[in-house]
C-alpha cells in the first residue's frame, strides 16, 4: 500500500483512496454525491459590521474565512475542495489554487518579493515561460542560474526562493530533491512537480517547502481546464491567499470542479500512461533513427528523444498522436521544444540547458501502446515536408534525465 501519513491521530490512507475521497468527506452528510459547484461571485450578508470584521481578519492573517467568502476573489468553496485534496495528496498543510501555473508562480514570486526577498536561485531547464518570467525579471526579481551543485554558493541574504523542476521540462533531468533542500538551508526550495505528480513523487517529504503544479496538465488530465496550484505550509499559504486576493489570479470554480474530478483518476491515469511510456522508451532506445532517449528514473508518462533526422518531419508526420504543446492529457501529444514550449528562452541558454534542436517531447496518453508505436514509427520514417538540413547527429551531452544511447545507424 502506498500509504500517506498525516500524523498519528489519523489512520494513513493510500494515495488512490485519498485521490477519490479527499476534499469530499462532508458530501454524504450534506446528502450529496457529486461535489457542489458554487459559481457565486458575491455572497449576501445583512450584517455589514460582521463582514467588515471578517475582511479585516482576512487582510491581516490570510486565513480562510469561516462561512461565506464575502467575494469570490477571497475564496470559493468548490475551489477549496480541490485545494484540500491536492494538499493531502502532496502531504502538505495547505494548497492555494490559481488561474494557471504561471499565475501560481507569479504569486509565489510576489509573495517572497513583498517580504524583501527578490533574489531567486534557479536550476535550468525550467518550462520556457517560467524561465522567461525569471530571466526577464518581469516581476522585479533577479535570478541566478546554477546547477544543483552550485545552489548553496548562489544563495545571498536576499534570496527568497530556490526553484527546480524535477523531472524537468523538457529534458526530464532529475534533481536529488533531498540534497537540494539541504543545500538551501533556511531558503525555501520550490519544486515544480507538474511532470511527476504526487503519484510518483512527493517533494514535501523530501524537504521541499513549496510544490508547484501546472494543474492544466496531469491534475486536470483531459486537456480542458487551465489552473495552477501551490502546496505549502499554512503560513505561506496565508501570504499567497493575500497576494491572490490583491492581484486576482483566481481559479474559476468550474475549473476547481474539473480539477477535483481529475484528481480522482490521477493515480490510475499516471500509472497506465507510465507503463505505456516505459514500453515506448524501450523500443525507441534500440531504434536506429533515434540518437538518444531521455526518461526519468522515477518513470512517468513524459518521454523525450533526439532524432538523427528532421524533427519537424516527425511533427508533421503523426496522425494518431496530436502535434501540440501541453501535456498530461488522456491523449498523446508531441511537440518540438526548441520551436514551441522553450521558444521564448534565448537559443544559447536553451542549448546549454540540454534542449537540443533535435529534441522532441512526448506526453504519452492512454491509447494502446501498439497504436502509438505504429503512428510514431511511421512518423519517424515520414518523407520530409521541407528540404532536409544537414543531418549531423545532435551530439548534445547527456545533461538530463537518464539518456538511453541508441546505436548509430551505419553510414552516418
Ligand atoms: C513544468 C511546468 N510548469 C509550469 C507551467 C505553466 O503552467 P500553465 O501553462 O498552466 O500556466 C508549465 C506549462 O507547460 C509546465 O510545463
Q: 375: which 3 cell numbers?
A: 503512428
- Grid coordinates belonging to 46: 445583512
Could you tell me whether strands 210-214 and 228-232 are parallel, antiparallel, or unpaired per DSSP bridges? Answer: antiparallel
Catalytic residue among 43, 71, 73, 349: 73
Report whether 132 contacts 343 (CB < 8 A). no
Please identify which residue in the block is written with the cell numbers 491536492.
86
Closest among 286, 268, 312 to 373, alpha carbons compared? 286
Which residue's C-alpha comes closest to atom 6 of ligand 1? 101
pLDDT in tens, 160-187: 999 999 999 999 999 999 999 999 999 9
pLDDT per position as a tens digit, 137-149 = 999 999 999 999 9
Q: What gap in Å lies between CA 211 and CA 351, rounded to an integer?
A: 27
CA-closest residue to ligand 1 atom 10:
101
Across the chain, what does the average pLDDT equal? 93
Question: Is residue 5 very low, low, confident or very high in pLDDT (cuts 50, 70, 90)?
Answer: low
What is the residue whose three cell numbers read 521544444?
A: 337
* Residue 234 pLDDT: 98
Which residue has cell 503523426? Answer: 318
Residue pair 378/320 in contact by the 8 Å Cβ criterion: no
Protein residues whose CB sits closer than 6 Å to any atom of ligand 1: 100-102, 127, 129-130, 165, 169, 192, 194, 214, 216, 226, 228
Q: Residue 409: pLDDT above 50?
A: no
Alpha carbon 201 to its chain's center: 12
Answer left, alpha or beta for residue 116, where phi above 0 means left and psi between -120 and 50 means alpha. Answer: left
Q: Domain boundaries in the chain?
A: 267-380
Q: How many other CB atoms sit within 10 Å of the CB of residue 317?
A: 21
Minimal-distance CA residue to ligand 1 atom 16: 127
Confidence of residue 408 (pLDDT cuts 50, 70, 90): very low
By the 10 Å C-beta count (0-12 exposed, 13-18 middle, 19+ buried), 175 is classed as buried
Active site residue 73: yes
Query: What is the pLDDT averaged over residues 313-331?
Result: 98
CATH architecture of 267-380: Alpha-Beta Complex (3.90)
Is residue 319 among the annotated active site residues? no
Q: 163 with 142: CB under 8 angstroms?
A: no
Per-residue pLDDT tens digits for 376-386: 999 999 776 55
pLDDT digits (tens, 9 = 90+) for 217-256: 999 999 999 999 999 999 999 999 999 999 999 999 999 9
CA of 46 to the centre of ligand 1 (A): 42
**If residue 103 lies in a helix (H) or strand (E), which one and from where to where?**
helix 101-113
SS3 assignment, position 303: strand
399 confidence band (pLDDT: 50, 70, 90):
very low
> If DSSP codes are grouped into helix, strand and coil, which group holds residue 170?
coil
Q: Which of 192, 287, 313, 375 is catalytic?
A: 192
Residues in the chain: 412
58 Cα: distance to centroid of ligand 1 (angstroms):
29
The pLDDT, as a whole number, for residue 12 is 82
Q: Averaged over 123-147, what is the pLDDT?
A: 98
| Residue 237 and residue 107 in contact, taking contact as beta carbons nearer than 8 Å | no
Q: What percent of the chain has pLDDT over 90?
A: 90
Peptide bond into 182 cis (omega under 30): no
Quote the cell numbers at residue 410.
Answer: 551505419
User: What pTM, to 2 d.p., does this model score?
Assistant: 0.92
Q: What percent of the chain has pLDDT over 70?
A: 90
Q: Which of 217, 226, 302, 345 to mutate to test the pocket of ligand 1 (most atoms within 8 A of CB)?
A: 217
Q: Are the C-beta atoms of 140 and 113 separated by less than 8 Å?
A: yes
Q: What angle do CA 88, 101, 245 make, to 5 degrees?
A: 80
Structure confidence by residue, pLDDT tens digits, 24-40 = 999 999 999 999 999 99
- Each residue's pLDDT tens digit, 189-204: 999 999 999 999 999 9
Residues 216 and 198: their CA atoms lie apart, in Å, by 15
Helix (H, G, I), strand (E, B) or coil at 188: coil
Amino acid at each position: 500500500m502506498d500509504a500517506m501519513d498525516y500524523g498519528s491521530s489519523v489512520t494513513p490512507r493510500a494515495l488512490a483512496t485519498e485521490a477519490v475521497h479527499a476534499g469530499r468527506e462532508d458530501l454524504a452528510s450534506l446528502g450529496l454525491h457529486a461535489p457542489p459547484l458554487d459559481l457565486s461571485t458575491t455572497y449576501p450578508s445583512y450584517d455589514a459590521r460582521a463582514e467588515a470584521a471578517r475582511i479585516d481578519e482576512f487582510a491581516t492573517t490570510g486565513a480562510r474565512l469561516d462561512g461565506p467568502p464575502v467575494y469570490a476573489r477571497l475564496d470559493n468553496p468548490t475551489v477549496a475542495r480541490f485545494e484540500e485534496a491536492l494538499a493531502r495528496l502532496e502531504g502538505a498543510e495547505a494548497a492555494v489554487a490559481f488561474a494557471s501555473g504561471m499565475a501560481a508562480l507569479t504569486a509565489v514570486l510576489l509573495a517572497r518579493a513583498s517580504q524583501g526577498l527578490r533574489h531567486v536561485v534557479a536550476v535550468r531547464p525550467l518550462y520556457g515561460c517560467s524561465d522567461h518570467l525569471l530571466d526577464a525579471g518581469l516581476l522585479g526579481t533577479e535570478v541566478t542560474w546554477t546547477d544543483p551543485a552550485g545552489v548553496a554558493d548562489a544563495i545571498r541574504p536576499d534570496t527568497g526562493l530556490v526553484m527546480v523542476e524535477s523531472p524537468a521540462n523538457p529534458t526530464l533531468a532529475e534533481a536529488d530533491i533531498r540534497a537540494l533542500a539541504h543545500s538551501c538551508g533556511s531558503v525555501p526550495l520550490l519544486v515544480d512537480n507538474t511532470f511527476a505528480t504526487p503519484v510518483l513523487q512527493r517533494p514535501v517529504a523530501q524537504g521541499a517547502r513549496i510544490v508547484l503544479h501546472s494543474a492544466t496538465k496531469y491534475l486536470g488530465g483531459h486537456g480542458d481546464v487551465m489552473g495552477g496550484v501551490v502546496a505549502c505550509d499554512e503560513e505561506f499559504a496565508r501570504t499567497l491567499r493575500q497576494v491572490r486576493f490583491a492581484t486576482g489570479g483566481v481559479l474559476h470554480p468550474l475549473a476547481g470542479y474539473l480539477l477535483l474530478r481529475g484528481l480522482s483518476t490521477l493515480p490510475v491515469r499516471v500509472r497506465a500512461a507510465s507503463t505505456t511510456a516505459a514500453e515506448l522508451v524501450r523500443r525507441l532506445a534500440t531504434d536506429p533513427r533515434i540518437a538518444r532517449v531521455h526518461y526519468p528514473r522515477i518513470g512517468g508518462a513524459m518521454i523525450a528523444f533526439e532524432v538523427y533526422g528532421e524533427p519537424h518531419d516527425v511533427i508533421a508526420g503523426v496522425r494518431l498522436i496530436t502535434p501540440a504543446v501541453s501535456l498530461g492529457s488522456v491523449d498523446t501529444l508531441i511537440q518540438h521544444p526548441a520551436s514551441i514550449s522553450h521558444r521564448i528562452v534565448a537559443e544559447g541558454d536553451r542549448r546549454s540547458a540540454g534542449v537540443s534542436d533535435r529534441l522532441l517531447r512526448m506526453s504519452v496518453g492512454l491509447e494502446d501502446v501498439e497504436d502509438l508505436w505504429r503512428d510514431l514509427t511511421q512518423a519517424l520514417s515520414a518523407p520530409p515536408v521541407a528540404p532536409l538540413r544537414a543531418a549531423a547527429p545532435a551530439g548534445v551531452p547527456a545533461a538530463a534525465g537518464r539518456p538511453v544511447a541508441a546505436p548509430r545507424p551505419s553510414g552516418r
